[in-house]
Structure 1
Amino acid sequence: MTANTRQRGHAFARLVDVMDRLLAPGGCPWDREQTLDSLRPYLLEETYEVLDVMTGDDPAAHREELGDLLMQIVFQAALREARGEFDIDDVATAIADKLVRRHPHVFGDARADDPEAVARQWDRIKAEERRAHGGGGPDRALRGVPRSTPALARAQKLSERAAAVGFDWPDAAGCRAKVDEELRELDEAIAAGDRARVEAELGDLLFAVTSLARKLGVDAEGALRAAADEFTRRFEHIEDRLHERGRSPRDATLDEMDALWEAAKKLAEK
Structure 2
Amino acid sequence: MRDAAVDSLRALNEVVKRLRAPGGCPWDREQTHASLRPYLLEETYELLEAIDAQGVATLREELGDVLLQVLMHCAIAAETDDGFDVGDVAEVTRAKMIHRHPHVFAGTAVGGAAEVVVNWERLKRTEKRERLSLLEGIPSALPALAFAHGVQKRPARLGFDEMPSTTDALDATRTALERLASVAEGAPAAPARGQDWTVEVCRPAAPLEEAVGELLYAAVALARRLRVNPEDALRSRTNRFVDRFHVLEEEARSDGVDLHDLDQAEWRRRWEATSRPR
Structure 1 length as normaliser, TM-score?
0.89
Instruction: Tell me the equivalent position of 1:87.
Output: 85
Q: How does 1:1-270 map to 2 (within 5 A)?
A: 4-84=1-81, 85-130=83-128, 132-134=129-131, 139-168=132-161, 169-192=163-186, 195-267=205-277
CA 1:263/1:102 → structure 2, altered by over 3 Å: closer, same or farther? farther
Displacement of 1:5: 3.0
CA deviations on 1:129-151 (whole Å, 9 max, x unpaired) are 23x334xxxx4111100111111
User: What is the CA-CA distance between 1:99 and the residue it aligns to?
Assistant: 1.1
C-alpha distance in structure 2 between counterparts of 1:258 and 1:112, whole Å = 57
> CA 1:188/1:74 → structure 2, altered by over 3 Å: closer, same or farther?
same
* RMSD of Structure 2 on Structure 1 (CA): 1.9
**Deviation of 1:124 (Å):** 2.2
Counterpart contact for 1:80–1:87, Cα < 8 Å: yes
* Bigger Cα displacement from structure 2, 253-262 vs 97-106: 253-262
Instruction: Say if 2:117 and 2:157, in contact at 8 Å, map to a contact too.
Output: no
Q: Tell me, yes or no, if the aligned pair for 1:237 and 1:261 is still in contact at 8 Å.
A: no
Query: 2: CA distance between counterparts of 1:196 and 1:146?
Result: 25
Cα distance change of structure 1 residues 57 and 164 upon mapping to structure 2, 3 Å threshold:
closer
Larger relative contact order (Cα-Cα within 8 Å, sequence gap ≥ 6): 2
Asked if 2 retains the 8 angstrom alpha-carbon contact of 1:20 and 1:78, the reply is yes
Change (3 A) 1:37 1:110: same
2-structure distance, mates of 1:159, 1:266 = 40
Q: Which has the higher helix share?
A: 1
- Runs of at least 5 residues in structure 2 that lack an aligned partner in the other structure: 188-203
CA distance in structure 2 between the aligned counterparts of 1:192 and 1:242, rounded to whole angstroms: 36
What is the letter of the counterpart of residue 25 of structure 2?
Answer: C
* Displacement of 1:95: 1.0
Superposition deviation, residue 263 in structure 1:
4.5
1:256 CA displacement: 3.9
> Residue 36 of structure 1: SS of its match in structure 2?
coil
Q: Is contact 1:237–1:260 with CA below 8 Å preserved after alignment? A: no
1:189·1:198 contact (CA, 8 Å) conserved in 2? yes
The 3-state SS of whatever aligns with 2:237 is: helix
The one-letter code sitting in structure 2 at the alignment partner of 1:184 is: E
The SS at the match of 1:170 is coil
Q: Is residue 103–residue 122 contact of structure 1 (8 Å, CA) maintained in 2? A: yes
